[in-house]
Structure 1
């Protein structure tokens, strides 16, 4: 069943982080703070259909993933603070897996998916990449991201090295280049709720990693 956040969630999204921090995780999993230039976004409410149309224009007009991410992140923030109903659209995390994914938009031949993701407190994801660009906007709870990079040896070609971590607070937006590798942990005592946006899935480039055995497998 869908679960609703409190009606002041959109205020929390703005006020919890007045600096409106945005982060880009590169293909080598290094992180960079990004402060977009102020632009006047006058459409209010900024509805999902308009957001999707703007995204399609960006994908057509901007060829590079990094530049696309920089163009999309301000639109994600505008969408969530304007169409606040989106922040109340999520499913309870599964007791079996510890997480849930509610698909907000998916269409054949449209090269992205829009999701709301919920994690039970203290749930931890496998270490993985997505093989495509992605954007995560944290709405509620706290989420620890650990970042990894490939550090192959002759014996272990899929060996990883931990390069850093970042705890996301409500209002922060983090974006990932296709080669970025991370794991996610929901910390604190309340579920972690996020708005997730991903480019066209490339399953051949999407891996789950085992750092103990230095292996990788498609998922």
Structure 2
């Protein structure tokens, strides 16, 4: 099966980017080395797209080399339908690394992250619906559906800070993803209600 890299921008547009081939494991690539190289990238590149293009190959390298990461998830909570296991957060370093699992039959809210993000699917299959802002005089937070993409294991979707999406697990098995975000507090994250055309902090 062919892997894909998808870049989703603030306007809901989706495009392929970079080399989606899975690298050979080679030398063991540890999380601390990944974080060090990530910090170097953040010092060099200052826009979301350049950062995402530079970081995505490192995410692929990490997941191929560090198999233990793929097992570092919690079973989804039946009451919420999802779980999050934080692998890395550090005060005053704007990076969050986590494993997220979803139960079939549950769908996330429609939301942005207020920071660039990378979702690499490890197990299962997910539909990501992509939205764009379409404000109207009476509804400044109105959205319209722009696109959707189905992720299989090995696929990566990279999101700019104000890209808006929702996540729906497909099939009968829980989905598991490696999620990386350029924030720790998510103060600019919002969830959207398309029925009432409203938004609120998330």
Give the TM-score normalised by the residue count of structure 2. Answer: 0.95
5 Å-filtered alignment, 1:6-155, equals 17=1, 19-36=2-19, 44-155=27-138
Q: Which structure 2 segments of 5+ residues have no match? A: none
Q: Which structure 1 segments of 5+ residues have no match? A: 1-16
Q: Do the aligned residues in 2 keep the contact of 1:21 with 1:35 (CA within 8 Å)? A: no
Cα deviation, residue 204, structure 1: 4.1
Q: 1:215 to 1:37 in 2, by over 3 A?
A: closer
**1:78-122 deviations in whole A, cap 9, x for unaligned?**
000011111011001011110000000111111101000000112
CA separation in 1, counterparts of 2:73 and 2:88? 13
CA separation in 2, counterparts of 1:144 and 1:91? 21
Where does structure 1 differ by over 6 angstroms across 4 or more consecutive aligned residues?
Answer: none
**1:174-209 deviations in whole A, cap 9, x for unaligned?**
100011001000110000000000002464421110
* Residue of structure 2 aligned with 1:196, choices 158, 179, 182: 179
Secondary structure in 2 matching 1:58: helix
Aligned residue number for residue 169 of structure 2: 186
CA separation in 2, counterparts of 1:35 and 1:61? 18
Secondary structure in 1 matching 2:51: helix
CA separation in 2, counterparts of 1:177 and 1:86? 24
CA separation in 1, counterparts of 2:17 and 2:3? 10
CA separation in 1, counterparts of 2:10 and 2:186? 17
CA RMSD of aligned residues (A): 1.8
Q: How many residues are treated as equivalent by the alignment?
A: 202
Give the TM-score normalised by the residue count of structure 1. Answer: 0.88
Secondary structure in 2 matching 1:166: strand
Q: Do the aligned residues in 1 keep the contact of 2:104 with 2:170 (CA within 8 Å)? A: yes
